[in-house]
């Protein structure tokens, strides 16, 4: 399904999100002019920051009964969900979007330039959602929306909860943690060998102290470690002593190095004699011509 022709007009009416400081300044200016038509639109953000605020229009949405990890309550807000002063979510069902494609466009016009982070939470309830999702992805890129997908109400509720839970958390809370501890690096390396687990790896370090000692240990010594046996010790020993290169590459390197090594004095003299004879033959051929 193609996007509606009115998308360009929609984009023209939507401005870039404003920062919280700028929004506060505009609110103060509007409040200084009571009685104007802008009083309602300049209503400051709700002070209820301890919970998720829910639009009254979301009554009856099955998502609400799965929001259990954070408190929520209904409030007079423009988006469907507000998880912070600068974060909001719009909820959209793909099935409903196919029936009423203008709905999301009208909601975006209503939302305008409010909030820094605007999320379009889409519940995928169609068997063939690809075409519709493609159009919604394009819409999100053009209107500065973050697209999040859920395949059931429970998943949608979990996304809303996570946005609230991590609202004020630093970025490193969700970033991949890089382990710099040498001990942990050795544990991780050893536990990649099947069937050695992290407990076995720590047992090996406690028994042999260093990785070098583990490598030098015999199969019988490895088998004596708690949690080990003959089979596990044999696999570990093999993994630590088998060549890193594949057999094909190993044979190629072996063939390549067959002629490597120091030459003896006799070999050098033999080569010199062959060179001299070759030069003499070339000289005789030139003389005859």
Question: What is the tens place of the pLDDT at every residue in 168-225?
Answer: 777 666 666 666 677 788 888 888 888 889 899 899 999 998 888 998 999 899 989 9
Q: Given the DSSP bridges, would you call strands 146-150 and 87-93 parallel, antiparallel or unpaired? A: unpaired
Question: What is the tens place of the pLDDT at every residue in 56-93?
Answer: 889 888 999 998 888 998 989 899 999 888 889 999 99
Q: Quick check: 94 and 127 in contact, CB under 8 A?
A: no
Nearest-angstrom CA–CA distance, 117 and 130: 25
Distance of CA 253 to the CA centre of its chain: 39
pLDDT value for 184: 82
pLDDT range class, residue 150, cuts 50, 70, 90? very high
Residue 128's φ and ψ, nearest 5 degrees, are -120, 80
Average pLDDT in the chain: 76
Q: Quick check: 97 and 136 in contact, CB under 8 A?
A: yes
Q: Quick check: 3 and 102 in contact, CB under 8 A?
A: no
Distant-in-sequence, close-in-space partners of 252: CB < 8 Å, separation ≥ 6: none
pTM: 0.48
Q: Given the DSSP bridges, would you call strands 52-55 and 72-75 parallel, antiparallel or unpaired? A: parallel
Q: Quick check: 51 and 183 in contact, CB under 8 A?
A: no
């Amino acid at each position: 399904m193609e996007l509606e022709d009115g998308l360009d007009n929609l984009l023209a009416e939507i401005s870039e999100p404003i920062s919280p400081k700028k929004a506060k300044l505009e609110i103060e200016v509007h409040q200084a002019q009571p009685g104007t038509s802008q009083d309602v639109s300049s209503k400051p953000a709700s002070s209820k920051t301890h919970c998720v605020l829910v639009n009254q229009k979301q009554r009856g949405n099955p998502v609400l009964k799965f929001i259990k990890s954070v408190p929520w309550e209904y409030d007079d807000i423009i988006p469907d969900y507000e998880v912070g002063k600068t974060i909001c979510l719009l909820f959209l069902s793909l099935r409903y979007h196919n029936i009423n494609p203008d709905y999301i466009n009208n909601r975006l016009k209503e939302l305008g330039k409010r909030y820094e982070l605007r999320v379009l939470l889409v519940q995928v309830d169609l068997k063939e959602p690809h075409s519709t999702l493609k159009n919604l992805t394009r819409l999100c890129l053009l209107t500065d929306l973050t697209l999040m997908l859920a395949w059931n109400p429970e998943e949608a509720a979990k996304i809303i909860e996570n946005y609230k839970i991590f609202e004020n958390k630093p970025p490193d809370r969700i970033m991949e943690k890089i382990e710099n501890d040498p001990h942990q690096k050795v544990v991780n390396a050893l536990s990649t060998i099947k069937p050695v687990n992290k407990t076995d790896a720590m047992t090996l370090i406690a028994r042999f102290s260093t990785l070098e000692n583990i490598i030098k240990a015999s199969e019988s010594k490895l088998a004596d470690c708690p949690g080990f046996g003959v089979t596990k010790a044999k696999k570990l020993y093999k993994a630590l002593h088998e060549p890193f290169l594949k057999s094909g590459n190993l044979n190629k390197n072996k063939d390549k190095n067959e002629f490597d090594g120091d030459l003896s004095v006799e070999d050098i003299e033999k080569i010199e004699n062959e060179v001299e004879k070759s030069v003499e033959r070339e000289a005789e051929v030139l003389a005859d011509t």
